[in-house]
Amino acid sequence: MRQRRLLLTGLLLFLSAGLTRHGLSGFPGKMLGQAKAERPKFYALRVVFEMNVHNPKDCLGAPDGCYAEIQPGGQLILFMENKLYPFPIIGGWQEGFAQPDSGSVVGKGEGNFSLEGWFPIQDKQEKQRYDWIPLGLSATGFSFWPTYDMGVNMIRITNIGTKSLLVDAVIGYDREGKEDRRQ
């Protein structure tokens, strides 16, 4: 029953994002200047794992014009300064529904990548374990379904394209009353 709910939640996330987990051409974070309201930000704090990545530490901290280069088939797992949380879905039937971004990836050029979070979930025996869950990509960033309201602090970027992926920073947006700084 629990897995069916997770499957349904994943399907709803897919439908709400309008994009598949397997990539977005270009970086949603490159449109940050067009964001409506400035929110407090935090960044990737350290590299947890890297495979086929040149200069992986260049994507830590605020955007600075230095890039980690993820080769085709490469992966980069980052630990965030704070946990990312989903923001509530706003709007109604007349004006449409929207979900503010939980974060964004700032990069250069075009890229085809998947983005996932390391979430705690419960298996059939009600035991907690962790699994990679796709994050919903939008034109301005990424978010995830409010079902996962416990937050996530590890992000995995996988280059599924044929060209190198250049990542400057991963940005998270603070949620009022939810601070979980881990150093």
Burial pattern 62-73, b for ≥16 Cβ within 10 A else e, equals ebeeebbbbeee
Domains in the chain with CATH codes:
2-173 (2.60.120)
Q: Could you tell me the pTM of the whole model?
A: 0.74
User: Tell me, what's the pLDDT at 148?
Assistant: 58
User: Tell me, what's the pLDDT at 26?
Assistant: 54
User: Tell me, what's the pLDDT at 37?
Assistant: 55
Nearest C-alpha neighbor of 117 from the set 1, 5, 10, 8: 10
Query: In this predicted model, what pLDDT tens digit does every residue of 88-102 receive, in sequence order?
Result: 666 655 666 666 788
User: Tell me, what's the pLDDT at 95?
Assistant: 61
Query: In this predicted model, what pLDDT tens digit does every residue of 52-61 receive, in sequence order?
Result: 999 999 999 9
Q: Kindly calculate the radius of gyration of the chain based on its CA atoms and give it in whole angstroms.
A: 16
